[in-house]
Protein backbone atom coordinates (compact mmCIF):
# COMPACT_ATOMS: atom_id res chain seq x y z
CA UNK A 1 0.00 0.00 0.00
CA UNK A 2 1.32 3.39 -0.96
CA UNK A 3 0.88 6.16 1.56
CA UNK A 4 1.30 9.89 1.40
CA UNK A 5 2.47 11.78 4.46
CA UNK A 6 0.63 15.03 4.98
CA UNK A 7 1.55 17.48 7.71
CA UNK A 8 -0.93 19.71 9.42
CA UNK A 9 -2.83 22.49 7.74
CA UNK A 10 -5.22 23.96 10.23
CA UNK A 11 -6.09 23.73 13.92
CA UNK A 12 -9.41 22.65 15.22
CA UNK A 13 -9.69 20.63 18.37
CA UNK A 14 -11.82 19.70 21.28
CA UNK A 15 -11.52 17.75 24.46
CA UNK A 16 -13.15 17.00 27.72
CA UNK A 17 -12.18 16.89 31.31
CA UNK A 18 -13.49 15.29 34.51
CA UNK A 19 -13.83 16.27 38.11
CA UNK A 20 -12.07 15.03 41.23
CA UNK A 21 -10.70 16.52 44.44
CA UNK A 22 -7.46 16.50 46.33
CA UNK A 23 -5.76 13.56 48.03
CA UNK A 24 -7.45 14.54 51.28
CA UNK A 25 -10.89 13.86 49.84
CA UNK A 26 -13.25 11.06 50.74
CA UNK A 27 -12.80 7.63 49.15
CA UNK A 28 -13.81 6.76 45.62
CA UNK A 29 -16.78 4.53 46.50
CA UNK A 30 -19.57 5.09 44.03
CA UNK A 31 -21.89 7.76 45.34
CA UNK A 32 -24.94 9.72 44.25
CA UNK A 33 -25.26 13.47 44.48
CA UNK A 34 -28.25 13.01 46.74
CA UNK A 35 -25.98 11.28 49.28
CA UNK A 36 -24.58 14.70 50.17
CA UNK A 37 -26.63 16.86 52.49
CA UNK A 38 -25.51 20.14 50.87
CA UNK A 39 -26.56 19.09 47.35
CA UNK A 40 -29.64 21.01 46.19
CA UNK A 41 -31.55 19.14 43.51
CA UNK A 42 -33.43 22.34 42.59
CA UNK A 43 -30.28 24.44 42.07
CA UNK A 44 -29.00 25.55 38.66
CA UNK A 45 -26.04 23.21 39.02
CA UNK A 46 -28.12 20.12 39.92
CA UNK A 47 -27.82 18.27 36.62
CA UNK A 48 -24.13 19.03 36.11
CA UNK A 49 -23.05 18.12 39.66
CA UNK A 50 -25.23 15.02 39.65
CA UNK A 51 -23.67 13.85 36.38
CA UNK A 52 -20.17 14.51 37.71
CA UNK A 53 -20.81 12.54 40.89
CA UNK A 54 -22.66 9.71 39.13
CA UNK A 55 -19.73 9.27 36.74
CA UNK A 56 -17.20 9.22 39.56
CA UNK A 57 -15.68 12.52 38.53
CA UNK A 58 -16.51 14.70 41.50
CA UNK A 59 -15.92 13.40 45.01
CA UNK A 60 -17.18 14.77 48.29
CA UNK A 61 -15.10 16.78 50.70
CA UNK A 62 -16.40 14.35 53.30
CA UNK A 63 -18.95 11.55 53.45
CA UNK A 64 -21.79 14.07 53.65
CA UNK A 65 -20.44 17.27 52.05
CA UNK A 66 -19.95 17.88 48.30
CA UNK A 67 -19.38 21.64 48.75
CA UNK A 68 -20.79 22.74 45.35
CA UNK A 69 -20.43 26.44 46.17
CA UNK A 70 -16.92 26.18 47.56
CA UNK A 71 -13.94 27.64 45.71
CA UNK A 72 -11.69 25.33 43.72
CA UNK A 73 -7.93 25.65 44.24
CA UNK A 74 -5.35 25.68 41.47
CA UNK A 75 -3.96 22.36 42.68
CA UNK A 76 -7.39 20.72 42.75
CA UNK A 77 -8.04 21.80 39.19
CA UNK A 78 -4.68 20.44 38.06
CA UNK A 79 -5.60 17.09 39.60
CA UNK A 80 -8.97 17.12 37.84
CA UNK A 81 -7.45 17.65 34.40
CA UNK A 82 -4.73 15.05 34.92
CA UNK A 83 -7.16 12.39 36.07
CA UNK A 84 -9.63 13.14 33.33
CA UNK A 85 -7.05 12.73 30.56
CA UNK A 86 -5.06 9.98 32.27
CA UNK A 87 -1.82 11.99 32.38
CA UNK A 88 1.21 10.03 33.55
CA UNK A 89 4.37 11.91 32.52
CA UNK A 90 5.64 14.67 34.81
CA UNK A 91 7.72 17.74 34.06
CA UNK A 92 10.54 19.15 36.14
CA UNK A 93 8.90 21.82 38.33
CA UNK A 94 11.82 22.56 40.62
CA UNK A 95 11.64 26.22 39.59
CA UNK A 96 8.35 26.63 41.47
CA UNK A 97 9.50 27.21 45.02
CA UNK A 98 6.01 27.07 46.52
CA UNK A 99 5.29 23.48 45.35
CA UNK A 100 6.80 21.26 48.02
CA UNK A 101 7.56 17.62 47.19
CA UNK A 102 5.81 16.62 50.40
CA UNK A 103 2.48 18.03 49.24
CA UNK A 104 -0.22 15.74 47.81
CA UNK A 105 -0.42 17.87 44.69
CA UNK A 106 3.29 17.90 43.76
CA UNK A 107 2.93 15.24 41.07
CA UNK A 108 -0.34 16.70 39.78
CA UNK A 109 1.25 20.10 39.26
CA UNK A 110 4.17 18.42 37.46
CA UNK A 111 1.75 16.49 35.23
CA UNK A 112 -0.24 19.63 34.37
CA UNK A 113 2.91 21.56 33.48
CA UNK A 114 4.06 18.70 31.24
CA UNK A 115 0.70 18.61 29.42
CA UNK A 116 0.89 22.37 28.95
CA UNK A 117 -2.36 23.24 30.71
CA UNK A 118 -0.58 25.02 33.58
CA UNK A 119 1.90 27.84 33.83
CA UNK A 120 3.04 29.45 37.05
CA UNK A 121 1.75 32.78 38.29
CA UNK A 122 5.36 33.83 37.93
CA UNK A 123 8.58 32.15 36.89
CA UNK A 124 9.06 30.82 40.42
CA UNK A 125 5.56 30.54 41.91
CA UNK A 126 2.60 28.29 41.13
CA UNK A 127 0.25 29.29 44.01
CA UNK A 128 -1.19 25.75 44.22
CA UNK A 129 -3.27 26.44 47.34
CA UNK A 130 -4.81 29.65 46.01
CA UNK A 131 -8.35 29.62 44.63
CA UNK A 132 -8.39 29.61 40.86
CA UNK A 133 -10.16 32.49 39.14
CA UNK A 134 -12.75 32.03 36.44
CA UNK A 135 -10.48 33.49 33.75
CA UNK A 136 -7.65 31.20 34.88
CA UNK A 137 -9.98 28.20 34.75
CA UNK A 138 -11.17 29.15 31.26
CA UNK A 139 -7.56 29.47 30.17
CA UNK A 140 -6.61 26.03 31.47
CA UNK A 141 -9.62 24.37 29.86
CA UNK A 142 -9.07 26.12 26.52
CA UNK A 143 -5.50 24.84 26.50
CA UNK A 144 -6.64 21.32 27.25
CA UNK A 145 -9.21 21.58 24.47
CA UNK A 146 -6.62 22.96 22.04
CA UNK A 147 -9.18 25.54 20.91
CA UNK A 148 -8.33 27.60 17.86
CA UNK A 149 -7.86 31.06 19.35
CA UNK A 150 -7.58 32.72 15.95
CA UNK A 151 -10.91 31.23 14.89
CA UNK A 152 -12.58 32.77 17.94
CA UNK A 153 -10.72 36.10 17.87
CA UNK A 154 -13.88 37.96 16.84
CA UNK A 155 -16.19 36.38 19.41
CA UNK A 156 -18.63 39.06 20.54
CA UNK A 157 -18.44 39.63 24.31
CA UNK A 158 -20.60 42.76 24.27
CA UNK A 159 -23.44 41.10 26.19
CA UNK A 160 -21.17 40.85 29.23
CA UNK A 161 -21.04 44.18 31.06
CA UNK A 162 -17.75 43.32 32.81
CA UNK A 163 -15.82 42.28 29.71
CA UNK A 164 -13.32 45.09 30.28
CA UNK A 165 -12.17 43.31 33.47
CA UNK A 166 -10.74 40.37 31.51
CA UNK A 167 -6.94 40.41 31.68
CA UNK A 168 -5.22 40.86 28.32
CA UNK A 169 -3.36 37.55 28.66
CA UNK A 170 -6.65 35.71 29.27
CA UNK A 171 -8.73 37.40 26.56
CA UNK A 172 -8.00 34.92 23.71
CA UNK A 173 -8.88 31.97 25.95
CA UNK A 174 -12.07 33.57 27.26
CA UNK A 175 -13.20 34.45 23.74
CA UNK A 176 -12.55 30.87 22.64
CA UNK A 177 -14.51 29.35 25.53
CA UNK A 178 -17.47 31.67 24.98
CA UNK A 179 -17.33 31.24 21.20
CA UNK A 180 -17.30 27.45 21.55
CA UNK A 181 -20.41 27.75 23.76
CA UNK A 182 -18.68 26.23 26.79
CA UNK A 183 -19.04 29.34 28.96
CA UNK A 184 -22.36 31.14 29.35
CA UNK A 185 -21.49 33.53 32.17
CA UNK A 186 -23.43 34.56 35.25
CA UNK A 187 -26.27 36.26 33.45
CA UNK A 188 -24.75 39.43 32.00
CA UNK A 189 -21.49 38.90 33.85
CA UNK A 190 -18.42 36.84 33.07
CA UNK A 191 -16.92 37.62 36.48
CA UNK A 192 -13.41 36.82 35.17
CA UNK A 193 -11.63 37.78 38.40
CA UNK A 194 -13.97 35.89 40.72
CA UNK A 195 -12.97 32.49 42.03
CA UNK A 196 -14.61 29.57 40.26
CA UNK A 197 -16.76 27.25 42.37
CA UNK A 198 -16.85 23.48 42.20
CA UNK A 199 -20.37 23.59 40.78
CA UNK A 200 -19.38 26.08 38.08
CA UNK A 201 -16.48 23.90 37.08
CA UNK A 202 -18.79 20.87 36.98
CA UNK A 203 -21.07 22.84 34.66
CA UNK A 204 -18.22 23.64 32.28
CA UNK A 205 -17.48 19.97 31.81
CA UNK A 206 -21.14 19.10 31.58
CA UNK A 207 -21.31 21.55 28.66
CA UNK A 208 -18.33 19.86 26.99
CA UNK A 209 -18.45 16.10 27.45
CA UNK A 210 -21.19 13.52 27.04
CA UNK A 211 -19.49 10.23 27.91
CA UNK A 212 -16.21 8.51 28.76
CA UNK A 213 -14.68 5.26 27.56
CA UNK A 214 -12.39 3.85 30.24
CA UNK A 215 -12.61 0.10 29.52
CA UNK A 216 -10.82 -1.70 26.68
CA UNK A 217 -13.02 -3.28 24.04
CA UNK A 218 -15.26 -2.71 21.04
CA UNK A 219 -18.14 -0.23 20.97
CA UNK A 220 -20.85 -0.05 18.29
CA UNK A 221 -23.60 2.21 19.64
CA UNK A 222 -24.02 5.82 18.49
CA UNK A 223 -22.64 8.33 20.98
CA UNK A 224 -24.55 11.49 21.82
CA UNK A 225 -22.35 14.50 22.47
CA UNK A 226 -18.57 14.43 22.85
CA UNK A 227 -16.67 11.39 24.10
CA UNK A 228 -13.27 10.91 25.74
CA UNK A 229 -11.32 7.66 25.34
CA UNK A 230 -8.93 7.25 28.27
CA UNK A 231 -7.56 3.76 27.70
CA UNK A 232 -5.90 1.80 24.90
CA UNK A 233 -7.14 -1.11 22.77
CA UNK A 234 -10.46 0.50 21.97
CA UNK A 235 -12.41 -0.01 18.75
CA UNK A 236 -15.34 2.15 17.68
CA UNK A 237 -17.26 0.45 14.87
CA UNK A 238 -20.20 1.44 12.64
CA UNK A 239 -21.29 4.39 14.77
CA UNK A 240 -21.75 8.15 14.82
CA UNK A 241 -20.20 10.44 17.42
CA UNK A 242 -22.55 13.40 17.61
CA UNK A 243 -19.85 15.71 18.91
CA UNK A 244 -16.09 15.59 19.42
CA UNK A 245 -13.90 12.50 19.79
CA UNK A 246 -10.96 12.88 22.16
CA UNK A 247 -8.16 10.36 22.57
CA UNK A 248 -6.86 11.06 26.06
CA UNK A 249 -3.33 10.74 27.40
CA UNK A 250 -4.42 7.50 29.07
CA UNK A 251 -4.40 5.76 25.69
CA UNK A 252 -0.60 6.04 26.03
CA UNK A 253 1.20 4.01 23.33
CA UNK A 254 -1.79 1.81 22.63
CA UNK A 255 -3.87 1.16 19.52
CA UNK A 256 -7.18 2.89 18.81
CA UNK A 257 -9.28 1.79 15.82
CA UNK A 258 -12.10 3.79 14.26
CA UNK A 259 -13.96 1.51 11.82
CA UNK A 260 -16.65 3.22 9.72
CA UNK A 261 -17.05 5.99 12.28
CA UNK A 262 -18.51 9.41 11.55
CA UNK A 263 -17.35 12.14 13.94
CA UNK A 264 -19.49 15.23 13.53
CA UNK A 265 -17.17 17.32 15.65
CA UNK A 266 -13.39 17.22 15.85
CA UNK A 267 -10.82 14.51 16.56
CA UNK A 268 -8.28 15.53 19.22
CA UNK A 269 -5.31 13.25 19.83
CA UNK A 270 -3.52 13.53 23.19
CA UNK A 271 -2.71 9.81 23.38
CA UNK A 272 -2.10 6.74 21.25
CA UNK A 273 1.36 5.85 19.97
CA UNK A 274 3.13 4.65 16.87
CA UNK A 275 0.98 1.51 17.11
CA UNK A 276 -1.39 4.11 15.74
CA UNK A 277 -4.85 5.50 15.68
CA UNK A 278 -6.41 3.85 12.65
CA UNK A 279 -9.19 5.48 10.65
CA UNK A 280 -10.64 2.68 8.52
CA UNK A 281 -13.53 1.91 6.17
CA UNK A 282 -14.78 5.40 5.48
CA UNK A 283 -14.17 6.93 8.91
CA UNK A 284 -14.53 10.67 8.60
CA UNK A 285 -14.50 13.92 10.52
CA UNK A 286 -14.16 17.57 9.48
CA UNK A 287 -11.12 18.37 11.63
CA UNK A 288 -8.27 16.61 13.43
CA UNK A 289 -5.52 17.95 15.68
CA UNK A 290 -2.62 15.96 17.07
CA UNK A 291 -1.47 17.31 20.44
CA UNK A 292 0.41 14.48 22.17
CA UNK A 293 3.41 15.99 23.98
CA UNK A 294 5.06 13.06 25.79
CA UNK A 295 5.86 10.81 22.81
CA UNK A 296 5.22 10.16 19.12
CA UNK A 297 1.82 9.20 17.69
CA UNK A 298 0.59 8.32 14.22
CA UNK A 299 -2.90 8.77 12.82
CA UNK A 300 -3.35 6.55 9.75
CA UNK A 301 -6.20 6.75 7.23
CA UNK A 302 -6.89 3.81 4.92
CA UNK A 303 -7.98 4.27 1.31
CA UNK A 304 -11.72 4.63 1.89
CA UNK A 305 -11.27 7.00 4.82
CA UNK A 306 -8.80 9.08 2.83
CA UNK A 307 -11.25 9.35 -0.06
CA UNK A 308 -13.97 10.39 2.42
CA UNK A 309 -12.01 13.30 3.92
CA UNK A 310 -9.10 14.32 1.71
CA UNK A 311 -10.83 17.26 0.01
CA UNK A 312 -12.31 18.81 3.16
CA UNK A 313 -10.46 17.80 6.33
CA UNK A 314 -8.53 20.36 8.37
CA UNK A 315 -5.47 18.91 10.08
CA UNK A 316 -2.85 20.26 12.44
CA UNK A 317 0.01 18.88 14.48
CA UNK A 318 0.73 21.26 17.35
CA UNK A 319 4.19 22.75 17.73
CA UNK A 320 4.98 20.71 20.84
CA UNK A 321 3.74 17.51 19.18
CA UNK A 322 5.98 18.20 16.17
CA UNK A 323 9.02 17.90 18.44
CA UNK A 324 8.56 14.14 18.19
CA UNK A 325 9.75 13.51 14.64
CA UNK A 326 7.78 10.29 14.18
CA UNK A 327 4.48 12.02 14.90
CA UNK A 328 2.48 12.34 11.70
CA UNK A 329 -0.88 12.07 10.03
CA UNK A 330 -0.72 9.59 7.16
CA UNK A 331 -3.18 9.51 4.30
CA UNK A 332 -3.38 6.77 1.69
CA UNK A 333 -2.01 7.90 -1.67
CA UNK A 334 -5.21 8.26 -3.68
CA UNK A 335 -3.73 10.41 -6.43
CA UNK A 336 -3.79 7.52 -8.90
CA UNK A 337 -7.34 6.61 -7.94
CA UNK A 338 -8.53 10.18 -8.33
CA UNK A 339 -6.84 10.57 -11.71
CA UNK A 340 -8.41 7.31 -12.88
CA UNK A 341 -11.79 8.53 -11.68
CA UNK A 342 -11.34 11.80 -13.57
CA UNK A 343 -10.54 9.87 -16.73
CA UNK A 344 -13.55 7.61 -16.22
CA UNK A 345 -15.80 10.62 -15.65
CA UNK A 346 -14.50 12.17 -18.87
CA UNK A 347 -15.16 8.97 -20.78
CA UNK A 348 -18.68 8.71 -19.37
CA UNK A 349 -19.40 12.35 -20.13
CA UNK A 350 -18.01 11.99 -23.63
CA UNK A 351 -20.18 8.95 -24.31
CA UNK A 352 -23.28 10.14 -22.54
CA UNK A 353 -26.47 10.08 -24.59
CA UNK A 354 -27.98 13.51 -24.14
CA UNK A 355 -31.49 13.65 -25.57
CA UNK A 356 -34.65 15.54 -24.72
CA UNK A 357 -37.59 13.14 -25.01
CA UNK A 358 -41.18 13.32 -23.71
CA UNK A 359 -42.53 10.93 -21.11
CA UNK A 360 -46.11 11.40 -22.37
CA UNK A 361 -47.70 11.89 -25.81
CA UNK A 362 -51.29 13.05 -26.29
CA UNK A 363 -53.10 11.90 -29.47
CA UNK A 364 -56.69 12.28 -30.70
CA UNK A 365 -58.76 9.23 -31.56
CA UNK A 366 -58.66 8.58 -35.31
CA UNK A 367 -55.71 10.91 -36.01
CA UNK A 368 -52.13 9.84 -36.69
CA UNK A 369 -50.24 13.07 -36.06
CA UNK A 370 -49.14 13.92 -32.53
CA UNK A 371 -47.00 16.66 -31.00
CA UNK A 372 -43.73 15.16 -29.82
CA UNK A 373 -40.49 17.07 -29.17
CA UNK A 374 -37.29 15.05 -29.45
CA UNK A 375 -33.96 16.93 -29.39
CA UNK A 376 -30.39 15.67 -29.83
CA UNK A 377 -28.31 17.71 -27.33
CA UNK A 378 -24.97 16.11 -28.19
CA UNK A 379 -22.16 17.96 -29.94
CA UNK A 380 -21.35 15.44 -32.66
CA UNK A 381 -23.27 12.20 -32.35
CA UNK A 382 -26.25 10.97 -34.39
CA UNK A 383 -29.18 9.38 -32.59
CA UNK A 384 -31.54 6.78 -34.02
CA UNK A 385 -34.88 6.83 -32.17
CA UNK A 386 -37.41 3.99 -32.05
CA UNK A 387 -40.69 3.99 -30.10
CA UNK A 388 -42.02 0.48 -29.50
CA UNK A 389 -45.23 -0.71 -27.89
CA UNK A 390 -44.43 -2.74 -24.78
CA UNK A 391 -47.06 -5.42 -25.20
CA UNK A 392 -45.79 -6.65 -28.59
CA UNK A 393 -42.59 -4.66 -29.27
CA UNK A 394 -44.16 -3.19 -32.42
CA UNK A 395 -43.14 0.24 -33.67
CA UNK A 396 -45.84 2.88 -33.22
CA UNK A 397 -44.05 5.23 -35.64
CA UNK A 398 -41.27 4.93 -38.13
CA UNK A 399 -37.79 5.04 -36.62
CA UNK A 400 -36.05 8.37 -37.22
CA UNK A 401 -32.60 9.88 -36.93
CA UNK A 402 -31.53 13.12 -35.27
CA UNK A 403 -28.22 14.72 -36.12
CA UNK A 404 -26.33 16.58 -33.39
CA UNK A 405 -28.28 19.64 -32.27
CA UNK A 406 -31.35 18.74 -34.37
CA UNK A 407 -34.93 18.19 -33.18
CA UNK A 408 -38.46 17.25 -34.31
CA UNK A 409 -41.76 18.53 -32.97
CA UNK A 410 -44.30 16.21 -34.61
CA UNK A 411 -44.53 12.43 -34.82
CA UNK A 412 -46.58 10.50 -37.39
CA UNK A 413 -48.07 7.31 -36.01
CA UNK A 414 -48.13 4.18 -38.17
CA UNK A 415 -51.83 3.76 -37.41
CA UNK A 416 -54.56 5.85 -35.86
CA UNK A 417 -55.17 4.70 -32.31
CA UNK A 418 -58.33 3.97 -30.38
CA UNK A 419 -59.26 5.56 -27.05
CA UNK A 420 -56.95 4.55 -24.20
CA UNK A 421 -53.33 4.50 -23.07
CA UNK A 422 -50.41 2.62 -24.59
CA UNK A 423 -47.19 2.00 -22.64
CA UNK A 424 -44.11 2.28 -24.81
CA UNK A 425 -40.33 2.24 -24.66
CA UNK A 426 -38.16 4.80 -26.42
CA UNK A 427 -34.92 3.21 -27.63
CA UNK A 428 -32.14 5.67 -28.50
CA UNK A 429 -29.05 4.34 -30.29
CA UNK A 430 -26.06 6.66 -30.55
CA UNK A 431 -23.60 6.59 -33.47
CA UNK A 432 -20.24 8.32 -33.82
CA UNK A 433 -18.30 8.24 -37.07
CA UNK A 434 -20.68 5.57 -38.29
CA UNK A 435 -20.05 3.29 -35.30
CA UNK A 436 -22.56 2.48 -32.60
CA UNK A 437 -21.34 3.75 -29.21
CA UNK A 438 -24.29 3.08 -26.90
CA UNK A 439 -28.02 2.81 -26.31
CA UNK A 440 -30.51 4.36 -23.93
CA UNK A 441 -34.02 3.19 -23.02
CA UNK A 442 -36.67 5.42 -21.51
CA UNK A 443 -40.37 4.99 -20.80
CA UNK A 444 -43.17 6.78 -22.68
CA UNK A 445 -46.96 6.61 -22.42
CA UNK A 446 -49.16 7.41 -25.43
CA UNK A 447 -52.53 8.78 -24.30
CA UNK A 448 -55.40 8.78 -26.83
CA UNK A 449 -58.66 10.66 -26.21
CA UNK A 450 -61.48 12.38 -28.14
CA UNK A 451 -60.54 15.84 -26.88
CA UNK A 452 -57.62 17.40 -25.05
CA UNK A 453 -57.42 20.84 -23.40
CA UNK A 454 -55.34 23.49 -25.15
CA UNK A 455 -52.35 23.11 -22.82
CA UNK A 456 -52.07 19.45 -23.95
CA UNK A 457 -52.83 20.09 -27.61
Beta carbons of 174 and 183 less than 8 angstroms apart: yes
- 410 and 283 assigned to the same domain: no
Average pLDDT over residues 2-26: 34
Write out pLDDT tens, residues 94-133: 999 999 999 999 999 999 999 999 999 999 999 999 999 9
Count CB atoms within 10 A of the CB of residue 418.
9
Q: Is residue 350, in this structure, part of any structural domain at all?
A: no
- 323 and 308 assigned to the same domain: yes
- 107 and 239 assigned to the same domain: no
Q: What are the backbone angles phi and psi of residue 315, rounded to the nearest 5°?
A: -130, 140
- 283 and 361 assigned to the same domain: no
- Percent helix / strand / coil, the chain, rounded to 5: 20, 30, 50
Count CB atoms within 10 A of the CB of residue 102.
5
Q: Is residue 270, in this structure, part of any structural domain at all?
A: yes
Boundary of a domain, candidates 208, 230, 250: 208
Distances (CA, A) of 256 to 217, 276, 394: 10, 7, 63
Strands 298-301 and 328-332: parallel
Q: Is residue 22, in this structure, part of any structural domain at all?
A: yes
Measured CA to CA, the distance from residue 183 to residue 177 in angstroms comes to 6
**SS3 of residue 373 by DSSP:** strand
Strands 211-213 and 227-229: parallel
Residue 324 domain boundaries? 211-339
DSSP state of 15: -
Contacts of 450 by beta carbon, 8 Å cutoff, 6+ apart:
364, 365, 419
Boundary of a domain, candidates 192, 208, 224: 208
- 105 and 132 assigned to the same domain: yes
More confident residue, 57 or 252: 252
Q: Is residue 159, in this structure, part of any structural domain at all?
A: yes
State the chain's mean pLDDT as an integer. Answer: 88
- 202 and 236 assigned to the same domain: no
Q: Is residue 125, in this structure, part of any structural domain at all?
A: yes
Domain total in the chain: 3
Q: Is residue 104, in this structure, part of any structural domain at all?
A: yes
Measured CA to CA, the distance from residue 338 to residue 329 in angstroms comes to 20
- 440 and 317 assigned to the same domain: no
Beta carbons of 237 and 260 less than 8 angstroms apart: yes
Q: Is residue 304, in this structure, part of any structural domain at all?
A: yes
More confident residue, 381 or 29: 381
- 314 and 442 assigned to the same domain: no
- What is the reported pLDDT for 54? 80
Average pLDDT over residues 72-90: 90
Q: Is residue 177, in this structure, part of any structural domain at all?
A: yes
Contacts of 76 by beta carbon, 8 Å cutoff, 6+ apart:
21, 22, 105, 132
- 169 and 29 assigned to the same domain: yes
- 44 and 158 assigned to the same domain: yes
- What is the reported pLDDT for 313? 96
Does 405 have pLDDT greater than 80?
Answer: yes
- 92 and 182 assigned to the same domain: yes
Amino acid sequence: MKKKRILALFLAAVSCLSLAVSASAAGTTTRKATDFKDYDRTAWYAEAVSAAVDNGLLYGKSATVIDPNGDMTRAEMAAIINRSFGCYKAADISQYKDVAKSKWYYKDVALAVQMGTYNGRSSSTMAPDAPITRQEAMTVVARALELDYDAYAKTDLSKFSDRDKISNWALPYVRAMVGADYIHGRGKLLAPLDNITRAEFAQIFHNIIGSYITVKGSYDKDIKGSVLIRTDDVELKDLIVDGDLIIGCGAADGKITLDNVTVKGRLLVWGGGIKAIYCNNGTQMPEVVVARVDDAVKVIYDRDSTLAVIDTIKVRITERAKQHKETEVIFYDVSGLREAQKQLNAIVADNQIDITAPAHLYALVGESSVKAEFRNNSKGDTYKVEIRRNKDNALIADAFELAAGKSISTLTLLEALEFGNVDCTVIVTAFRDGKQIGTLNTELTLHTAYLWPKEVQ
